[in-house]
Structure 1
Amino acid sequence: MENQFFIDSEFLSEKALEKKHRLETDPSFRKNHMEYLPGMERISSDVCENVIKHMEEYDYTRYTAADVKAALEHETCSIEDFKALLSPAAEPFLEKMAQKASRETSRHFGNTVYFFTPLYIANYCENYCVYCGFNCYNHISRMKLSMEQIEKEMQVIADSGMEEILILTGESRSQSDVEYIGEACRLARKYFRMVGLEIYPVNTEEYAYLHKCGADYVTVFQETYDADKYETLHLMGHKRVWPYRFDAQERALRGGMRGVAFSALLGLSDFRKDALATGLHAYFLQRKYPHAEMSLSCPRLRPIINNDKINPLDVHEKQLCQIICAYRIFLPFAGITVSSRESAQFRNGIVKIAATKVSAGVSTGIGDHEKKYSGKDSQEVSGDEQFEIDDSRSLDDMYQDIEEEGLQPVLNDYVYV
């Protein structure tokens, strides 16, 4: 299906090339990233104001070793303690942070590690986000799975033993509308006990519809909480509207979702401030919706197809470990997911300290799980991936590795009555 948003960059018309160039070079040509578009729901909430106030005031250079020691000694981690633990002053205390984080993880989660796998059902996207492989100007193979193809992918995944799935799409209402996603949720409920969504943000009533179709929780990446930096990275599309994206988790909870997950894409902007804002976003929503399950994801920027221009603000494994430990100490009850963006060695280590959920048997492409799992290429075409993964272990391999680490792999512990 032809659509004005999906542009093959190898065959751009002169007019399209001019528009792309102006979007990249002329800020006045872009729509105001703080203004809502027609149809976007506004909600009354003080969460954003609280998060941004703390982030803008955060001067991590002023924290000292004494501040970090005090934070580690406190029984309950305050916001100020959290700020200290994210600061450069905390880096020499990483081992002590890991020890405290491990104790908190054990207290709240035992020695369990939860498994899930993502299923990308479409990679059409109407946004121009310069760091993302799905962006509408990137020349990739586009695909949207039919319900028959989705069910076949789900059967393959379920046959591997997986009981939790995360359904993902590119951000295109025209190609992946809410009804299409809802039908995918209904299919998923036939095969899986837990169904998550990572899709474009929608309104409260649409989240309520998707929950009725079978979705349990919603993940939204804010990407960066720095609105000025966000403006330079999201040049076109609904995703450009920063405040609408920020409030997505709260709309999902108002729509009846059991849980929500938060994330910044570490490396797009100042990672310490983004990590602070991510943790506080979950913290303030937890206080407002105490019944909700809160989770944090911790992705770093990864390479994408056809883009060698992204220069991330470097976040090494040591800094990532510091962030994850700080999350655990500040939010001991929250789930923490470390995805296949990270190496097997790092993931094997961090689940013994603070992470509680990992993906397995991962593909970020469209329609290729049967080929990945069995070697059979049953789809005539497949869609290109969103980003490159680092850990490609199967569920069986990961299950065995986690057991060898002395931990208990868990496929599902939620019972519907």
Structure 2
Amino acid sequence: MSKDFIDDRKLQDLLVQANPTEEKIERIINKSLNKERLSLEETAILLQADRPEWIDRIFKGAQELKNKVYGDRIVLFAPLYVGNKCINNCEYCGFKASNTEVDRCTLSIKELQDEVKAMEKKGQKRSILVYGESPDYDADFIAKTVEAVYDTREDKGEIRRVNINAAPLDVEGYKKLKEVGIGTYQIFQETYHHKTYDKVHHSGPKKDFKWRVTGLDRAMEAGIDDVGIGVLFGLYDWKYEVMGLLEHTIHLEEKYNVGPHTISFPRLKEASNVSIDDKYIVNDEELKRIIAILRLAVPYTGLILTAREDAELRREAIKLGVSQIDAGTKIEINGYSEDEEEQDINREQFMIGDSRSLDDVIYELINDGYLPSFCTACYRLGRTGEHFMEFAIPGFIKRYCGPNALLTFKEYLEDYASERTRVVGEKLIQEKLAEIEDDKTRDNVKAKLEEIEDEKRDLYF
């Protein structure tokens, strides 16, 4: 049985002892730019660097690192809520068991397929399935829904990568999900501060801090080497929570030789029958600091910024190190197939801030100089976990992910894009082709792009 590896006192003491100076900050940023993961002590110094000139330097360092490791690629996905039954009482969540105002629903396989088809009609290729914690949502049920998503096709559309956001399982449960080909298994600790965790989780299995914090250990032991962690910022001091995320990362690296594939940093938002204590609410500037410091602390970990945030903040924050965003997001049960414009707080876990269509988000990304990507090649070719790091560390993310991003983007332009998006998108593809220095690689990408124009799909390197 794995141990609870989060030491509250140690993390608090490191923050208190941190003594930022210009020289220390510069040394730490340079270490990160050399693509080395930062220590807890180094990260504490960045967290305590509160002077405007220091914050500006951290922002610039994060931007430089993101460009160096990920280039201008932004991976796109969409969440799909399968069921919102829940036996936990978490005071911040609209789906908590005690909330009698929320509409409870679990999608049937037919309803799930209708949702997937509606997503595919918009051009989605990657999804994360979201479940409440209920005996109805055991590993067998999750596996059945995953298989249904992979088996559902609408014209040229298909979901090629299914990630999971669900309650922690035992090792045997995770093995069942590995067999059906899930992508990343994501568990948010919500808060790493033990006292706060106990306070906000009133009852239910989720109240067990240790069972949750070791949930991804069991996933690793079951052979799932793509895992995602996250914190719900606003429950406790944000600087401490960043330290907790890094401690979790270090634990996974030391025990399993690979850290999390992704880190998420959602903030508390309005939800059905929820009263939010604003003591630890994270403002926009603090969120941007969180993103920049995480980018520097864990150079090879994907950072996910969700549609909880409004469009303008997402636009600003992407520059600081974000590599994945959701777009065209609907978090109501049956939200994609019904496609209602207005949000219904009693049908969703929280209110989202960016409800734009996938095409609108892609159009803005292109005009801001980013390359939208639906790539799933690394996952499907086994370039995950330790293997992913083998490719990532020498800089192969750009070598493989750039060309694969172009191919999946070309598919979107051919099959789903609006005319305005298609025009700027085709121009972007030509610009990106010209940037490929290796003649053989450029010719290979051109050939595959032409195959896509000839109706071939799902091509990748």
Question: In terms of mean alpha carbon deviation, does 86-95 or 252-261 score higher?
Answer: 86-95
2:305–2:324: 8 Å Cα contact kept in structure 1?
Answer: yes
Deviations 1:313-352 (A, max 9, x none): 1211111111111111111000000011111111112222
Provide the residue aligned with 2:299 in structure 1.
332
Deviation for aligned residue 1:234: 0.5
Cross-structure match for 1:152:
114
**Partner in structure 2 of residue 385 of structure 1:** 348
Aligned structure 1 segments of 4 or more residues deviating by more than 6 angstroms: none
Partner in structure 1 of residue 104 of structure 2: 142
Q: Which residue of 2 aligns with 1:94?
A: 55
Aligned pairs for 1:215-294 within 5 A:
215-291=182-258, 294=261
What amino acid does structure 2 have at the position aligned with 1:326?
I
**Alpha-carbon distance change, 224 to 382 in structure 1, aligned in 2, over 3 angstroms:** closer
Equivalent residue in structure 1 for 2:29, among 30, 48, 72: 72
Q: Unpaired runs of 5+ in structure 1? A: 1-42, 376-380
The residue type paired with residue 95 of structure 1 is D
Question: Which amino acid is 1:44 matched to?
Answer: S
Partners of 2:143 and 2:275 in 1: how far apart? 36
- Structure with more of its chain in helix, by fraction: 2
Mapped contact 2:49–2:55 kept (Cα < 8 A): no
Letter in 2 for 1:401: E
Between the aligned partners of 1:305 and 1:266, the Cα distance in structure 2 is 18
- Mapped to 2, the partners of 1:317 and 1:204 lie a distance apart of 39
Deviates more, 1:177-186 or 1:143-152: 177-186
Deviation (angstroms), 1:289: 2.5
Q: Find the aligned partners of 2:345 and 2:284 in 1 and give their Cα distance.
A: 32
Count, aligned residues: 366
Instruction: Give, in whole Å, the separation in 1 of the partners of 2:110 and 2:267.
Output: 34
Name the counterpart of 2:13.
Answer: 57
Aligned partners of 2:77 and 2:213: how far apart in 1?
A: 25
Partner of 1:37: none
1:50 offset after TM fit, Å? 5.8
Using the size of structure 2 for normalisation, the TM-score is 0.75
Please tell me whether the aligned partners of residues 60 and 84 of structure 1 are also in contact (alpha carbons under 8 angstroms).
Answer: no
Instruction: Pick closer, same or farther for the CA change 1:57–1:90 going to 2, 3 Å.
Output: same
- Of 172, 192, 205, the match for 2:172: 205
Q: Mind listing any 5+ residue stretches in structure 2 that lack a counterpart?
A: 152-157, 382-461
Separation in 2, partners of 1:183, 1:119: 15
Pick closer, same or farther for the CA change 1:357–1:152 going to 2, 3 Å. same
Q: Aligned partners of 2:143 and 2:346: how far apart in 1?
A: 21
- 2:129 is equivalent to residue 167 of structure 1: yes
Provide the C-alpha distance between the structure 2 equivalents of 1:234 and 1:382, rounded to a whole number of angstroms.
21
CA distance in 2 between partners of 1:299 and 1:275 (Å): 12
Relative to the length of structure 1, the TM-score reads 0.82
Q: Which has the higher contact order (CA 8 A, sep 6+)?
A: 1
**Is 1:128–2:89 an aligned residue pair?**
yes
Alignment partner of 1:394 out of 345, 357, 360? 357
Which sits farther off after the overlay, 115-124 or 208-217? 208-217
1:82 aligns with 2:43: yes
Q: Would the aligned equivalents of 2:233 and 2:265 in 1 still touch at CA under 8 Å?
A: yes
Q: Secondary structure at the match of 1:387?
A: coil
Is 1:318 matched up with 2:285? yes
1:411 corresponds to: 374
Summarize the alignment of residues 331-350 of structure 1 with structure 2, pairs less than 5 Å apart: 331-350=298-317
2:363 aligned partner, one-letter code: Q
Amino acid at match of 1:297: S
Structure 1 match to 2:334: 367
Secondary structure, counterpart of 1:263 in structure 2? strand
Using the alignment, how far apart are the partners of 1:154 and 1:382 within structure 2?
22
Deviation of the 1:393 alpha carbon: 1.3
